Structure formats: structure tokens, C-alpha cells
Amino acid sequence: MCGILALFGAENCNGDLRAELLSLSKLLRHRGPDWNGITCFRNCYLAHERLAINGLLSGAQPITNISGDLALSVNGEIYNHLELRAELEKINPNVVFTTDSDCEVILHLFKEHGPEFLKKVYVNGMYAFVLYDNSTDTYFVARDPIGIIPLYIGYGSDGTIWFSSELKGLQKNCDHIELFPPGHYVVGNSLKKEKLNPEPKPFYQDEWISNPDFIPCNPVDYTVLRNNLESAVRRHLLAEVPFGVLLSGGLDSSLVASIALREYNKAGNQGKLRSFCIGLKGSPDLAAAEQVANFLGTRHFSFEFTVQQGLDVLHDVIYHLETFDVTTVRASTPMFLLSRRVKATGVKMVLSGEGADEIMAGYLYFHKAPNPEELHKETVRKLKDLHKYDCLRANKSTMAWGLEARVPFLDREFLEYAMNLDPSCKMSGDRIEKYALRKAFDTPEDPYLPQEVLWRQKEQFSDGVGYGWIDHLKIEAENSVTDLQMKFASSRFPVSTPRTKEEYMYRDIFSKHFPAPAAAATVPQGKSVACSTPAAMAWDESFSRNADPSGRAIAGVHVKAYE
């Protein structure tokens, strides 16, 4: 995981401009503290801040090919790079790899197949990259299908086009900034101004995401479901540095930890796999994580934080998140604090459980889904928006400290398998949410988890770290935001006007870090509740009246246990 920054269409590449690019790239250095590089071709720059996870000896970026006409700057990991490399060498025995980086394969795929290669070749990974072909003056930019890795596109008043891993790399020079859409790519020419700002085109068009009328019908096979998730976790263990697992004690992170531990032991690693959790004293997550860690036998690190410590870092959290969404800020603060503690142990990569609730309909409001068809459409909508919320949280909370978070549930192969299952297997009704996933790992003869954890009800992450965290955020907002400020909120913040004092507090902090209107426009209109879509609101009238995104707010669903 790294930070990338690129500029195309500059009038010329001189020393002053290079110095400016270097200073802007330094704003991303928390993402890549291990090394940096800048490459210039005529009127474009590619900059890179490196976090070394694979290819430690020769993986510095930007990567160039042997002839020096291609340059590549990547943020991410390509999990099937060995298979792709073997295929390339079959097609072209003369291909020369100049590094041991898993990302270099992208450069050669472009050289072999051209800009359409992402449509032709099955690339499994999390990535955002910028590539420049000096021989044809062509730049090529793309982002992974779900948007696990952040990427922004900005437009300067001088006709330049910019790309950056984070908003903070663009706001100084761009009048208009957008989130680069997941599963898309752009191709343009740096020297030809009229071709500088092409529209992103989709390359990822699996039917579940591209056809709004598609309803899958594949029956669930619990063994196949289990095997697919195990394969996804196995792929995500590709690393040459110390790694661990984030373990909240909930179903998703516990399953990832259990599978990772089995793979870790199979590989003959010395010592115990490390697991990490954080919460307020006495929180549900701390107790559940301890139980899972004891059952699995991991080397467990259980960290407590105080409400005051959380409040103390709110400004830093919003600076790194680059959002003022309530749910995201609530959940990111403990994750931000945890990431700093994890990095201090020497770990540079962790596995996390994001994506399971969207794929397997795990949020509590899915209990209200009227039928499988509506449930499936809602899971698709959630996944399409995931890059704005949970993917952003998982990536930026950890990368603030140079820690890479990987999300096996969003592995492309597992995602495509699970999103093509008949949605009736994901319906809750009178069953606990994510029943199929739990059932797949309910193997008493060789248990993955304790029964009470395997069948533990869903908690929002910001709830699980301790209910007092959210309650004190509301108190802080009530004390710091006046009724008069709320009365004139629309005048001060015409873009994404805050509706509650907590929203106002986050919006105010954001505006101090990112004052430009172009910055605020990149943040999606706040999702006041996890189910705040017209379709989901129709499931239950109470959703439309609910201003609290906490999992506790889903009336009649958040209960201690199912009978």
C-alpha cells in the first residue's frame, strides 16, 4: 500500500514544478514512509510514496520498463500476479521484469494488450494506478472494482489533470475534484489539451453489478462457500513483512482470523499469529475478541482507549479520512487509535473483515427486507457505495500510520461467487443475519470458532467498541455546537448541510482542514442511517424517522439473542 500522485498537461517540467510535486507528494508520506520517487516525461509527473510489503529489495516506484518508455505508479496489491506473469511469459517469452514487485505485471499487461487489458485479463487485487506511455503520449489510470483503494481526480484552471490517493494532494491546484469511480479507467494524452479530460469508462461489468434487473439464482453449497472464503484469505496473506489480524470478536473478523491462523500454521511460520482489538473498558468487542483469541491461540493484543483519547484525535481522524460522514467518523476513530498501536508492534499489514455485511446482508436492517429480490438489490447498492464509507475508513484509518489493511471478503473471486448466490439464502426473517455464512463454518468436528461467537449478533463497529463512545460524541457535539449555529447551518454549509449537531461538529472540523468547496463536494451527502435509501426506507417506516446510524437504532432487531 502506498501513496500516488500524478500530473498531466503541465506546460513544462522544470525544477520549480518538480519541487512543488515533491512537496505535495510529502502530504501522502504517511501512506508510504519507506521510500519515495518521482519520474518526469515532458509535461507530466508521476510521484510515489512507498510502503514496502512485497518486493522489498527492488520494488521501488515509479516502475519503468527495460526501454524506459513506460512508467507506473501503483497503490495496492495484485494477488494473482504470479499467474498473470506466467501467462505473459507464455505469450511473450522476451518480456523482461525489472523488479520483484507484484505490481509490475500491470505495466507489461498494458504493453501487451493495450488500454483494454483490464477487460481482457482477470486481475484480482486491490489497486489504484497511474501509467504513462512516453512512446505514444498516453496516460492510463484505473481503480479496482469495489474501490478498496482510494483515488481522486482533479482538474486545474490551467487545463491540467491530476490524480492522487488522497484529497489533500489536490486541493491546492484543482478547482474541481471528484472521486475516481471504482471499476473504471481513463485513457488520455498529456500533450494534447483537447484530449486531456476524458470520461472514465467501466472495465468491471460482471452482471451482478452492471445489470440492475439481474437476480442471481445459484443455490448455496456451504462447503463451497467455506472453501471460497478460505481461498480468498489465503491469497491475501501474500506478504514479506510481519502481519496480523484485526479481531473485533464479531463474526467477520473472527472468521478471517481463524482461517488466517490455519494458513499461517500450514506455511510453517514460527511464533504465533498476532491479533489486535481495541475498545473502551468493558466493551463488547474486547470481551469477545479475548474469547476468540484464547480459542484460536493467537498472540493477542487488547488495547483500551478512553473517550477523552478519542475526542483528542477527532481533528486528526477527519484530516486523514477526508470525510465528515457520521458513521465513518464514529467507527474510524477507534480504528485510527488501534492502527497506531498495531504499527508500534512491528506489524505492517493486517487482515480485516470489511465487506461481509454488504455481501451477505449482515446489517440489522436487512431483517426488514420484504423479499429476496429487494434484499439483493440493496446489497448491490451497498457494495457500489462501499468506497465512500467502509473501504475509505479501513484504508485511511490504517494508512494514517503506514499500516496496510486487506479485506478478503472483497476478494474478486469470493465477491463474484457470493454475489451470484440466490439471495433467498441471505434472507434473515426469523433467523440471525448472515445465517448462510455462519452455517458454512459451523463444523463441530473441526470448529473454526466457539459456538457463541459464531452465532453472536451483529454489532456496528462503533457500537462494539463501547456504547459510551457514541453517547459521548453526541454530548461533545451538544456542548460545542450552539442552537444558533444549527439555525444558520445551511448558510455556512450550503453543500451537505448538517442536520444534527454531531454532523455539524464533523463538518466544521473538515472545513478547517479542507476549506475549498471542491473538497466538500467529494464527500457524499451524509448517510444518516445505514438504511437511508428510498428502497430500504420502504421496508419499514421507522427508518425514515431515524437520525441515528447506530446499530442499536434498528427497533425490534438489536436484541441480546434469538429464541
Same domain, yes or no: 200 and 220:
no
Whole-angstrom Cα distance, residue 413 to residue 235? 10
What is the structure's pLDDT at 515? 95
Q: Note if the bond before 62 is cis, omega within 30 degrees.
A: yes
Q: Are residues 197 and 220 in the same domain?
A: no
Tell me, yes or no, whether 75 and 199 share the same domain. Answer: yes
Give the end of a domain, one of 177, 205, 233. Answer: 205
Q: Is residue 425 part of a domain?
A: yes
Q: Are residues 192 and 233 in the same domain?
A: no
Considering 205, 238, 271, which residue would you say is the last residue of a domain?
205
Q: How far is CA 206 from CA 202, 212, 217, in A?
A: 11, 11, 15
- In DSSP notation, 13-56 reads --HHHHHHHHHHHHTTGGG--SEEEEEEETTEEEEEEE--SS-T
Output the tens digit of pLDDT for each of the chain's 563 residues.
699 999 999 987 778 899 999 999 999 999 999 999 999 998 999 999 999 999 888 889 999 999 999 999 999 999 999 999 999 999 999 999 999 999 999 999 999 999 999 999 999 999 999 999 999 999 999 999 999 999 999 999 989 999 999 999 999 999 999 999 999 999 999 887 655 678 999 999 999 999 999 999 999 999 999 999 999 999 999 999 999 999 999 999 999 999 999 999 999 998 999 999 999 999 988 999 999 999 999 999 999 999 999 999 999 999 999 999 999 999 999 999 999 999 999 999 999 999 999 999 999 899 999 999 999 999 999 999 999 999 999 999 999 999 999 999 999 999 999 999 999 999 998 899 999 999 999 999 999 999 999 998 876 555 667 678 999 999 999 999 999 999 999 999 998 899 999 999 999 999 999 999 899 999 997 554 455 566 677 787 666 555 555 554 555 555 544 33
Examine residue 119 and state whether it is found in any structural domain, yes or no: yes
Residue 40: the pLDDT is 93
CA dihedral angle for residue 555, residue 465, residue 234, residue 219, rounded to 10 degrees = -10
* 214: exposed, middle or buried (Cβ count in 10 Å: 0-12, 13-18, 19+): middle
| CATH number, residue 102 | 3.60.20.10
Instruction: Report yes or no on 563 lying in a domain.
Output: no
Same domain, 240 and 128: no
Same domain, 195 and 225: no
Helix (H) or strand (E) holding 301: strand 299-304
Give the C-alpha separation, 559 to 453, whole Å.
15
In this structure, what C-alpha cell is assigned to residue 450? 466457539
Catalytic residues: 2
Q: Do 423 and 283 belong together in one domain?
A: yes
Residue 217 inside a domain? The answer is: yes
Q: Residue 84: which domain range? A: 2-205
CATH classification at residue 302 = 3.40.50.620
Residue 181 in any domain: the answer is yes
Q: Are residues 186 and 239 in the same domain?
A: no
The number of distinct structural domains making up the chain is 2
Q: Are 440 and 389 in contact (CB under 8 A)?
A: no
Strand segments (E) across 180-219: 184-188, 201-202
200 lies in the same domain as 212 = no
Cα 141 from Cα 419, distance rounded (Å): 27
All three cell numbers of 425, joined, read: 439464502
Considering the domain boundaries, does residue 365 fall inside one? Answer: yes
Q: What are the C-alpha distances in Å from 174 to residues 79, 154, 274, 518?
A: 34, 5, 42, 8
Distance, in Å, from the CA atom of 71 to the CA atom of 65, rounded to the nearest integer, reads 7
Asked whether residue 122 falls in the same domain as residue 234, the answer is no
| CA 476/CA 256 separation, integer angstroms | 35
CA pair distance 559, 556, nearest whole angstrom: 7
Q: Give the list of residues 6+ apart from residue 338 with CB closer than 8 angstroms, or none.
A: 246, 276, 277, 278, 303
Q: Are residue 221 and residue 197 in the same domain, yes or no?
A: no
Q: Are residues 177 and 271 in the same domain?
A: no
Give the type of residue at 420.
N
Give CA–CA dist 165/169, Å, rounded: 8
Specify if 121 maps to a domain: yes
Domain end call among 161, 179, 205: 205
Q: Beta-strand (E) ranges in 309-420?
A: 349-351, 404-406
Who's near 299: CB < 8 A, 6+ residues apart?
Answer: 271, 272, 273, 274, 275
Q: Kindly report the pTM of this predicted structure.
A: 0.95
| Residue 560 within any structural domain of the chain | no
Strand pairing report for 138-143 and 125-133: antiparallel
pLDDT score recorded for residue 196: 63
Strands, E assignment, 204-291 = 243-246, 274-279
